[in-house]
Amino acid sequence: MSHVAGLGAILTAIVTPFDDDLNVDEQAFVDLMHHLAAHGSDGFVVCGTTGESSTLSDDEQMRVIELAVQNRPEGTSITAGVGVNDTRHAVHLTERATALGVDALLSVTPYYNKPNRRGIIAHYTEVAKATDKPIILYNIPSRVVIDVPNDLLAELAQIDHIEYVKQANNDNLAQVDGLGLYAGNDEIFLPTLELGGQGVISVASHLVGEEMRRMVDEPDNRAEIDASLRDVYAAMGVTTNPIPVKAALELAGHPVGALRLPLVEADEDERAQIAAVLERHGLLASAGTS
């Protein structure tokens, strides 16, 4: 299906482009997906955090997922973000995305209502009943308040269809029995590969996907490549994701529009920091790349 077994190693958490009226720009989405596939991406996580799922309506979310499935570049996988903090709603989104023909589903730990351990198990048990596709658990305590420890991840792995974890708590990074491991932050891609993990669900691969692809294909050069990309990883964190990556794509010649409130566009200082990094890597549109 992809360059490597399963869903692939470089899964880009693709942005959702908007037009001037902040409606989904369908053509820009399809064009970006094909550009990324030609530059290192094995697959796409659609309507995740980076895709601004929290400000998409259900119908918009399903339309973007449908676009991805219908227009997928050959050999790439499509993973749909379907996680919300209401179990019934999460089940509904999981059912709809499954029916659209996705390869996998990304399901984030319920946020804000702060379920306890038994509640998390009950939540994922119900979500898993709603699909026959692989589920990637998404542990990101910086956004959802709750950290899912590795012993609980191992317990969740016993539920049918729960097959992977996107680990966005760097301190928890470890192989978990029964789960394939994806780095949830670009800066832990290297140690994830060294642990034998599946790969990364990446933001930086919008810009440096070919280099990240080389980290998979050229094990002896991983450390050197990773060191050369540290400034890109940092630039994607100058403010809340996906503000920096949308600014970076514009600067690199791939306009993807603004962001829906409460997210706002990068300010002058943030854009300057991002532009400086892109210039160092020869990625600015004015430097002849697009």
**Burial status of residue 119 (CB atoms within 10 A of its CB: 0-12, 13-18, 19 or more):** middle
Q: Is 166 a known active-site residue?
A: yes
| Residue 283 identity (one-letter amino acid) | L
138 is catalytic: yes
Handedness of CA 178, 79, 130, 147 (dihedral sign): positive
To the nearest 10 degrees (0 to 180), the angle between helices 58-70 and 26-37 is: 40
Of 133, 164, 166, 233, the catalytic one is 166
> What's at 64, amino acid-wise?
V
Let me know: does 266 contact 278? Beta carbons within 8 Å.
no
Angle at 154 between CA 152 and CA 160, to 5 degrees: 110
Tokens of 86: 């209401």
Determine which one of 124, 138, 164, 182 is catalytic.
Answer: 138
Q: Which residues are catalytic?
A: 138, 166
